[in-house]
Chain A
Amino acid sequence: MAHASMSIEANPSNIPGLSTRKFIVWLFLASEVMFFTGLIATYIAIRFGGAQWPIVSEKLNVPLVAINTFILIVSSVTMVLAYAAIENGDTKRLNRFLVATMLLGALFVSIQGYEWSSLLGEGTTASNGLFGATFYTLTGFHGAHVSGGVLALVFVVFRSWRGHYSLENHLGIELMGLYWHFVDIVWIFLFTILYLI
């Protein structure tokens, strides 16, 4: 078992110069691309397939979600600045930007929670129509991914505080960043398709 894992670690992808963990994370992200695009394609097919649809700008709080979109974009910047910091060996800035990313992610999820509770209060549920069903499915799966990312960031911040990352050893930060930016990209499309079109 140990021997097997060592040989996988040594040359997992059979492509020289590729790291195992990064390769695996990219494969995971590729599967996530297909997952979310399947959901989005289904949404488009339902929405433009003749289903009754409310006027989105009247039903949803677009200004609030635009601010939330901005928050997620800022969190992507803080994440990439955390990576840039550790590439320069600056662990203080790394800690600062990681904490900022974590807090911004938590803020995004909190605002989404507020949006959901407002919609539920107005009687829009997942079971009373195709609009609610598709809206909660898409935003719910994305919100779950952001929440998972925030939990992962708690772990990464903890390791960072304990001095785990350095100039020579920071692949974990890069992989965390790949996941976080992917979640940002998914939201870029969801915001356009769910709220603006």
Chain B
Amino acid sequence: MTQTPETHAAKPNYLRIFVFLAVLTAVEVFAAFSIATPWLRVSFLLLLALSKAGLVAAYYMHLRFDKIAFRVIAFGPLVLVALLTTVLFLERNLGR
């Protein structure tokens, strides 16, 4: 087993990313109990979750620095998932 050629040259500051993740988690918990408007609370919490997931994928999983093929493999299923979820909700609403 040898080191792969697609491994990245740039080295992100992993501890800085950790601080972002920790702060975003704290904000998330605070927002869950302090934002009264449901749609605003849900949108904000989902945005925070997406931001955290994006940070982990981009920097800890090195997708930002890796081969584009891995990004395609990682994000391809999300397109299928979006289709699945849309169909699921359409079917549920049409079934009423």
* CB <8 Å contact, B46 and A192: yes
> Which of these, B33, B53, B70, contacts A188 with CB under 8 Å?
B53
Assess whether A69 is in contact with B25, with CB atoms less than 8 Å apart: yes
Rounded to whole angstroms, the CA-CA distance of A44 and B85 in the bound complex is: 10
Which of B21, B41, B53 contacts A189 (CB under 8 A)?
Answer: B53
What is the bound-complex CA distance between A45 and B94, given in angstroms? 13
The B contact surface, by secondary structure, is helix
Once A171-B3, A189-B49, A189-B53 are accepted as A-B contacts, the answer to whether A77 and B15 lie under 8 Å apart by CB is yes
Bin chain A's interface residue count.
35 or more
Is the Cβ of B57 less than 8 Å from the Cβ of A33? Answer: no
Task: Determine whether the beta carbon of B14 is less than 8 Å from that of A174.
Answer: no
Question: Is B32 in contact with chain A by the CB < 8 A criterion?
Answer: yes
Which bucket holds chain B's interface residue count?
A: 35 or more
Q: Quick check: A70 and B25 within 8 Å, CB to CB? A: yes
Which chain B positions have C-beta within 8 A of A44? 85
Apart from A73-B18, A181-B60, A189-B53, what 12 extra A-B contacts exist at CB < 8 Å? A13-B69, A18-B4, A18-B6, A19-B4, A34-B77, A70-B22, A76-B18, A84-B11, A169-B2, A184-B56, A192-B45, A197-B32
